[in-house]
Structure 1
Amino acid sequence: MITVRRATVDDAPAFARIMGDADVYPGLMQLPYTSVEVWRERLAEPLPAPDLRLVAERGGEVVGTCGMHTGRPIVRRRHVLSLGISVASEAQGQGVGSALMQAMCDYADRWAHVLRLELTVFVDNAPAIALYRKFGFEVEGTHRAYALRDGAYVDVYAMARLHPNPPTLPAA
């Protein structure tokens, strides 16, 4: 069974383990050689509302992480959050990503007043692209040579999801 909960400072070792996994970080915008101390500092910093960090646990072990962030505080983009997700290599393809995405989309749609979720994904990451499509994300464009990965510049897709049923006012 997969349990999703808010991340805490005590999750720093799990973040370092997952983000430092040689099978995981090439698909992320993370660098190799991360540390528990780096993640402890990041997780200790208070997040501005409506930012959120979650973890997925299975059998008491953290097997996935995700976060939604506002980025720079631009008034005209208050309705947008950027999403990032990572799943431990041994837990990929087992519903962890779906559990995290479901929790993030629920939070964005029902509680955080978010109209648009955005992310980037390497164009060759077919499993991640399929996961995002499952939750309503669409490819909006390609960023050429977006990031350096293992000594080569790689393209990413810009993907986004609009709220499927934006809130309305109650009837008068």
Structure 2
Amino acid sequence: MSDILIRAREPTDMADITELLNQPRAIWGTLQMPFVSLEARQKRASATGGDLHLVAVIDGKTIGSATLNRFENRRAHAGSIGMAVHDAYAGRGAGSALLGALIGQADNWLNLKRLELNVWSDNTRAMALYERFGFEREGVFRNYAWRDGAYADSVAMARLRF
């Protein structure tokens, strides 16, 4: 993991992020649509407000992306996360590094008590990662979304900090 740099997302990262989010395995593991253009991703990225956007970089290439969305009002104690890693770099520690950085921000700077996420029920690799960081399964959303020609279930997971 020592060759992985975690830092804030910059506008210059969008070409690499577009590439990684157009990878077959990355698309399969997210709610993103395939074949999204760089222009569309740039437009979407410029519209995000105070969310935390991090990237994982190896040898100057952005190979992972993660976001922490903090909720407001009566849910200001909570946030949701989402992340993806380029197919060619999966298994090299970028997911762990990104998740660790998000949790560090949530715990030490935002004082969030609850982090939540949804993960496809057949994405056992991602669920194992989240469980290593203290996330627990809270329930299943049946037929959560249309993915690759069929409805897929999603597992709600959360990490509570007391």
State how far apart, in whole Å, the 1-side matches of 2:48 and 2:66 are.
16
Contact 1:12/1:37 (CA < 8 Å) preserved in 2? no
Letter in 1 for 2:143: A
**Partner residue of 2:55?**
55
Larger radius of gyration: 1
Of 121, 133, 136, the match for 2:134: 136
Letter in 2 for 1:8: E
TM-score scaled by structure 2?
0.95
Q: Runs of 5+ in structure 2 lacking a partner?
A: none
**Partner residue of 2:41?**
39
State how far apart, in whole Å, the 1-side matches of 2:91 and 2:82 are.
17
Would you say 1:30 and 2:29 are equivalent positions? Answer: no
State how far apart, in whole Å, the 2-side matches of 1:20 and 1:152 are.
19
Other structure's SS at 1:30 match: coil
Would you say 1:114 and 2:112 are equivalent positions? Answer: yes
Other structure's SS at 2:24 match: coil
TM-score scaled by structure 1?
0.89
Among the aligned pairs, what percent are the same residue? 39
Structural RMSD (CA)? 1.1
Contact 2:17/2:63 (CA < 8 Å) preserved in 1? no
Other structure's SS at 2:25 match: coil
Other structure's SS at 2:110 match: coil
Would you say 1:161 and 2:147 are equivalent positions? Answer: no
Shift of 1:46: 5.0
Shift of 1:9: 1.2
Q: Runs of 5+ in structure 1 lacking a partner?
A: 167-172
Letter in 1 for 2:114: R
State how far apart, in whole Å, the 1-side matches of 2:110 and 2:15 are.
28
Shift of 1:55: 0.2
Other structure's SS at 1:23 match: helix
Letter in 2 for 1:2: I
Contact 1:8/1:43 (CA < 8 Å) preserved in 2? no
State how far apart, in whole Å, the 1-side matches of 2:158 and 2:11 are.
29
Would you say 1:104 and 2:102 are equivalent positions? Answer: yes
**Partner residue of 1:69?**
69
**Partner residue of 1:150?**
148
Contact 2:63/2:86 (CA < 8 Å) preserved in 1? yes
